[in-house]
Structure 1
Amino acid sequence: MSAAGSSEEQFLCSICLEVFSEPVSTPCGHNFCKRCISQAWDSSRICSCPLCEEVFSIRPQLKTNTLLSEMVSQLKLEKSSRSMDELIHLKEVQCDVCSEPKLKAVKSCLVCLSSFCESHLQPHLSAPRLKRHQLMEPVDDLEDRMCPTHDRPLMIYCSTDQKTICVVCSVREHKNHTIVSLEEALEQTVAENQRLVEQRRLKVQEITAALELSEREAQRETQQMVKVFSDIMESVQRCLDHHTKVMEQSLSKHKERAQALIQQLQQEMCELEKSSTEAQQLSLSTDPLHFLQRCPALPLLA
């Protein structure tokens, strides 16, 4: 699988939204442009991952993601090879064998560390010894594709140390490590990135579902509390109405008794006033016997 064959979004820095430049990996496994993540941490009081927001107590030492760098380089090469209009604006790789004027190279050899035009490439297509050489689209950075230790092409990938190595490296410094081809490493990285994207998509769905469940549960509990308080308020209102009715009935009875007593007392007052008037008239008589015989007896208060 080629880099261009996969989604180009996987090669975009989530900070600048451009294709990775000097991609580095954080301890949590996310990748950013070295300059982008450095500037982000320089301007922040804490060091955290812009994607998963994991906080690092100590600012991590950023390590270059060599595989991702290779993938980005391959992506850029494949994108360039697909568009002739873009190729016009690029610097053409010249044949290293041609004398001036040099012709345009059509292939580069990772063994010879040279680029060849169509004419000078013929020996690599016909000679048995040269046909074993690894050819690729013409590039002008062949030295960067060579192992600085063994001066061999960087043709394989060490998954253990996450770096591109040569064949000699695989049997010396990286002996007993997990070694895969660059193509396989590329496929594994793309698949891993897709797995991480899918993992986060499922996590988002899980959080969203949990949030919706919490909202429904909160709404249900709120409705229950509203009903409980409504029942309490109705019960209190019933008690208040009953108490008010009882008090009104009791007050009505007291009022009736009081009015009856007042009416009785008023009647007695009238009789007493009448008796008092008669007594005053009789008191004018000089005969006490006559007064006492005629004066009515005063009623006693109940």
Structure 2
Amino acid sequence: MAQAGDLEQIQFSCSICLDLLKDPVTLPCGHSYCMDCIEGCWDQEDHVGVYSCPQCRQTFTSRAVLGRNTMLAEVVEKLKKTGLQAAPPAHCFAGPGDVVCDFCTGRRNKAVKSCLVCLASYCEVHLQPHYDSVPLTRHKLADSTRNLREKVCSRHDKLLEVYRRTDQQCIFLLCVMDEHRGHKTVSAAAEKTEKQNQLGKVQELREAVDSLTRSAQAAAEDTESIFTQMIRSLEKRRSELKGVIRAQEKAALSQAEGLLERLEQEIAELRRRHSELEQLSHTEDHIHFLQSFQSLCVPPGPVHLPTITVNPHCSFGDVKKVLSDLKVQLEEACKNKFTEILQTGLYRNNYFTVILFFNIDCVVREKYSGTVELQVWAVPAVAHPAWDASLSQGNSSNTVVPGQTCCTTMPSSLIK
């Protein structure tokens, strides 16, 4: 029967606090929770604007109006009255590192909640009076925690309720009227909310910096890829132009070599005739002289030689001039485009607006384009050294005055 009771308790337990449902509400997806538990979860999702079920993760674009499930509440009340949750299973015994129940005797059970009014921790069994007794239901319960005495004022033996910002300590309300009169104080809940907001803004800053880092890395990779493609394109054009020059050189040399070969043949023929005429002039045979002289005196056919102009320096001067002009145009285009990139890209997008608070170095207010705007609300007693170095290297005309703004770059060491 105990196992059946445990099963009943699990079926009617809130999956957030793991206790029996208190003021149960049912979401559109069909899962049920304590009203305070699901409201607390959704309060943390307000900044996102999308709400989800903690179990099935079904999302809702608008925050549903939650109403108490009366039938389910009556069933849970009957479970409490029938005592189905009286005996905890064996796995509820406290183990090493667990917070133990202050009311168990013998082998103690694991505490599931701590009461900030009773200053004691309770297992599921001994916690039940806090749900059944009307006076105890007003007590504030929290997750089980150790050292509850640290939450009590040593002088008044009362729960600490106020946060003293002057020296960053938690005190009891009556302490404000005594030795802490005139100190700047707020409620512990208000200070917790402000600290959480500050931590949230610091997280936003880290995420913004991570986004900036990823964006810069992507831009650097794109730049490397594009310049590599440009270099390859220029190298291809250079190779093609060299090929054209070499082809023209080869054609001109081939033409010149053919012409030179013809000239050498004509010169050889003339030398041969000159030699034969020289021999013929010494012959005594008149008939042979006349017959041979007639054939040797026939002039060779006319040789039509093209006009050849040889430039001792270079015959590709126009190519050099065109390439020089192209180089100048390319350098000018690169210079203009780089200036445009620097003015419209890098200098406008990657800075953040930052606020200095008294108890924290910096948190981001919102992301802007242009410069880093520092809203100095209060100058801390110990400033971050990176800020001093950054401000001293910036515009000397910027004077840091509480309540006013100044512009400087944000040290990356603050967000590491």
Q: Which entry has the higher C-alpha Rg, 1 or 2? A: 1
Structure having greater relative contact order (Cα 8 Å, sep ≥ 6): 1
- Normalized against structure 2, the TM-score is what? 0.35
